């Protein structure tokens, strides 16, 4: 189902929405990215019908639902800290929405069974929410939201309360569920990598306004404002595939780099299709190949130099004679003295090196 938000205005205590426009296409995984206090949660709650906007409209599948109460919108909602009903068992939590729809005992049991299998919650059905771990509780909250077969799924920082390991697992679970069910999803987060890993498109939000919408690549390659650039950060984000290696390393083959394209040594337990990021400060530039402990060293060509005051961002294309998408651009941060010392200029050849541990796989 599609979602459209037009010119939404709302004041709620210290939170404000100021003319928010959004368009989410059917089946899309849409991520709203923004800092704490940007109004992301309030926006989700307004889409769900929990607050009445001062101005503007919310359309579900083209139908104006601005004044329809939440219980008649068919929306699945998941909060950061789960908001499970503590007086009900896991099974009763999942069945909550189904019972309200007047579904018969048998049909309810069947649906609960089905959804709990899908989310591997089967062994937890009789448990009480307070006995669950964070990851389990969030899967129950997801199951409860998905049980009613919502036309749209709204996730409010669903991974933020979890420890890093659980978080990674649940992130994959979200991607899998979206692949399998194809539910239109709006996911709110302040975590850039989470957004990149899951989103078809990202909307960056700040102070109650949407400041940029685009694919993950567009947002971090072409930030349209100082805020987006700062919040997203200048960094290298790639998509690729992990292959087995030796000596404790694995290989990351960058997407679009071709058969004999770029292979980067990385440290990770993950496999398959992944994202990788390298901080510009972690890449070393040199005129000559370096003999060092760094596992990754490539020859490239300087294609851009961006002066940002204290730091200079140098964009290096590997291989030097390539053109994207066959070639990969790395952004490297160096200080002004280093730039002058090396005498780098656009079009010149240069070597880049970085440690396998400097590559963050997610």
What does residue 99 show for φ and ψ, rounded to 5 degrees?
Answer: -60, -40
Q: What is the bridge-based pairing of β-strands 29-33 and 201-206?
A: parallel
Does residue 40 interact with other proteins by CB under 8 A? no
For residues 212 and 205, the answer to whether their CB atoms sit within 8 Å is no
Site for other proteins in 79-118 (CB under 8 A): 79, 81-87, 96-97, 100-101
What are the CA-CA distances from residue 128 to residues 97, 131, 162 (Å)?
Answer: 18, 6, 19
Residue span binding other proteins (CB under 8 A) among the ranges 19-27, 70-78, 312-320, 348-356: 70-78
Binding other proteins by CB under 8 A: which of 37, 70, 256, 348? 70
Does residue 164 interact with other proteins by CB under 8 A? no
Residue span binding other proteins (CB under 8 A) among the ranges 48-56, 251-259, 263-271, 332-340: 48-56
Which C-beta is closer to other proteins: that of 71 or that of 341? 71
SS3 38: coil
Closest to 257 measured CA to CA, from 274, 242, 240, 244: 240
For residues 296 and 283, the answer to whether their CB atoms sit within 8 Å is no
Tell me how many residues contact other proteins (CB under 8 A): 27
Which run of H or of E encompasses 216? helix 216-221
Binding other proteins by CB under 8 A: which of 39, 49, 135, 300? 49
Site for other proteins in 113-152 (CB under 8 A): 144-145, 148
- Give the shortest CB-33-to-other proteins separation in angstroms: 22
Site for other proteins in 170-189 (CB under 8 A): none
Which C-beta is closer to other proteins: that of 185 or that of 353? 185
What residues contact residue 177 under an 8 Å CB cut-off, 6+ apart? 118, 119, 142, 146, 183
Does residue 300 interact with other proteins by CB under 8 A? no
* 126 vs 122: CA distance, rounded Å: 9
Which C-beta is closer to other proteins: that of 42 or that of 352? 42
Strands in 328-335's sheet, in edge-to-edge order, are: 284-286, 349-354, 296-308, 311-318, 328-335
Does residue 50 interact with other proteins by CB under 8 A? yes
What does residue 285 show for φ and ψ, rounded to 5 degrees?
Answer: -100, 145
Which C-beta is closer to other proteins: that of 69 or that of 272? 69
Within 13 Å and on the Cβ side, how many CA atoms surround 33?
Answer: 31
Does residue 250 interact with other proteins by CB under 8 A? no
CA dihedral sign of residues 344, 347, 353, 357: positive
Residue span binding other proteins (CB under 8 A) among the ranges 44-52, 201-209, 232-240, 265-273: 44-52
Binding other proteins by CB under 8 A: which of 16, 40, 73, 301? 73
Binding residues for other proteins, rule: CB under 8 A, are: 45, 48-50, 69-71, 73, 75-77, 79, 81-87, 96-97, 100-101, 144-145, 148, 154
């Amino acid at each position: 189902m599609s979602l459209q938000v037009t010119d939404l205005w709302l004041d709620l205590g210290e939170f404000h929405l100021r003319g928010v426009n959004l368009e989410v296409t059917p089946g899309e995984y849409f991520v709203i990215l923004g800092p704490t206090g940007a109004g992301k949660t309030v926006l989700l709650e307004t889409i769900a019908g929990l607050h009445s906007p001062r101005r503007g409209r919310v359309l579900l599948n083209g139908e104006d639902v601005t004044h329809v109460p939440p219980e008649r919108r068919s929306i699945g909602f998941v909060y950061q800290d789960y908001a499970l009903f503590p007086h009900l068992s896991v099974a009763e939590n999942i069945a909550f929405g189904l019972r309200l729809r007047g579904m018969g005992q048998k049909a309810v049991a069947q649906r609960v069974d089905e959804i709990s299998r899908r989310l591997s919650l089967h062994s937890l059905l009789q448990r009480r929410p307070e006995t669950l771990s964070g990851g389990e509780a969030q899967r129950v909250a997801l199951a409860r939201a998905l049980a009613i077969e919502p036309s749209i799924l709204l996730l409010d920082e669903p991974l933020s309360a979890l420890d890093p390991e659980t978080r990674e697992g649940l992130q994959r679970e979200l991607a899998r569920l979206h692949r399998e069910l194809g539910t239109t999803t709006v996911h709110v987060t302040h975590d850039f990598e989470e957004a990149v890993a899951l989103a078809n498109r990202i909307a960056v939000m700040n102070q109650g306004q949407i400041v940029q919408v685009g694919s993950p690549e567009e947002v971090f390659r072409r930030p349209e404002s100082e805020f987006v650039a700062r919040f997203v950060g200048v960094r290298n984000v790639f998509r690729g595939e992990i292959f087995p290696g030796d000596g404790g390393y694995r290989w990351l083959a960058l997407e679009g780099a071709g058969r004999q394209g770029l292979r980067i040594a990385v440290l990770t337990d993950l496999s398959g299709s992944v994202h990788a990021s390298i901080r510009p400060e972690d890449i070393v530039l040199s005129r000559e190949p370096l003999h060092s402990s760094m596992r990754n060293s490539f020859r490239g060509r300087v294609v851009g130099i961006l002066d940002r005051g204290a730091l200079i961002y140098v964009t290096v294309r590997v291989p030097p004679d390539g053109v994207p998408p066959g070639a990969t651009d790395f952004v490297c941060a160096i200080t002004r003295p280093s730039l002058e010392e090396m005498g780098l200029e656009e079009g010149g050849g240069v070597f880049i090196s970085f440690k396998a541990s400097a590559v963050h796989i997610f």
